[in-house]
Structure 1
């Protein structure tokens, strides 16, 4: 069996009370999720928790380092904050803050799902909604479950003209933001996948 990343293993052990923690590679690191809801990221061997009200209150007393990506020489902060050694040692506090992050992520996911129409999501027009319906993606929940890449592949199967912009639009819709506001690391990862997918389809 392939050995898991040590910080993934450590996180699963410490946060087991949250439920079954799934991990997947994402943007050069890992995303941690419970029932497909992402509440933490691992980058450069450090665990980062999604911002929540409880996390902000804790950070006001004990400053936390945000997750930062570099974008053309500039720093772009994501709404995730680093778990330092002191917090790792405080098992109860770590679990409580992680639970708050998961709860906040769940609320955001549920809010997106309550958008009754795909066209109500950022970046998605009525035309895109109709294309997604044709591709078998008829609800916001299904879009979230499949993810941007799988939805794009379905669209590509029925329309060879969909390109990188559509992929970025789908990711933005899932994250609840305009595609132009996607972090550079996200855009770079999706662009690399897109280029590899095109290359594989021409072989």
Structure 2
């Protein structure tokens, strides 16, 4: 797997009116942050926005599938991310609308604390 840097560049450009997007590479993809808050991930050529119980109904209404992956034991797991609607790939207003929804979900997520050594 590789990171689609053109997609990340587009997210950065489209979200610029809201704030600066930063990313960190992770296991064949990238985690995207805005103002220090995780709001999306990019895996291969797909953009996945952060979601939560508050935002799920909006994602469901738009038909945005949940992020799933296969575990080593053969079961399927999900994460609180939704596949971005197709229109965000070429419409900055749509990117900001859906990105803002994801950013709010990210802000509502509990902060993970580092374990003491």
Same fold (TM over 0.5): yes
Q: Which has the higher contact order (CA 8 A, sep 6+)?
A: 2
TM-score class normalised by the smaller sequence: 0.7 to 0.9
Quote the offset at 1:14 in angstroms.
1.4
Matched ranges for 1:14-29 at <5 A: 14-29=14-29
> Any gaps of 5 or more consecutive residues in structure 2?
none
Quote the offset at 1:90 in angstroms.
4.3
Counterpart of 2:9? 9
Quote the offset at 1:105 in angstroms.
1.4
> Any gaps of 5 or more consecutive residues in structure 1?
113-120, 122-139, 156-203
Using the alignment, how far apart are the partners of 2:88 and 2:5 within structure 1? 20
> In structure 2, the residue corresponding to 1:73 is in which secondary structure?
coil
Using the alignment, how far apart are the partners of 2:78 and 2:109 within structure 1? 19
Consecutive aligned runs of 4 or more in structure 1 exceeding 3 Å deviation: none
Using the alignment, how far apart are the partners of 1:46 and 1:63 within structure 2? 15
Does 1:35 pair with 2:26? no
Bigger radius of gyration, 1 or 2? 1
Quote the offset at 1:21 in angstroms.
0.7
Counterpart of 1:84? 85
> In structure 2, the residue corresponding to 1:64 is in which secondary structure?
coil
Decide which structure has greater strand share.
2
Question: How many positions carry a matched residue from both structures?
Answer: 112
Counterpart of 1:51? 51
Matched ranges for 1:44-193 at <5 A: 44-52=44-52, 53-54=54-55, 56-71=56-71, 72-109=73-110, 112=111, 143=114, 155=117
TM, length-normalised to structure 2: 0.78
Quote the offset at 1:24 in angstroms.
0.4
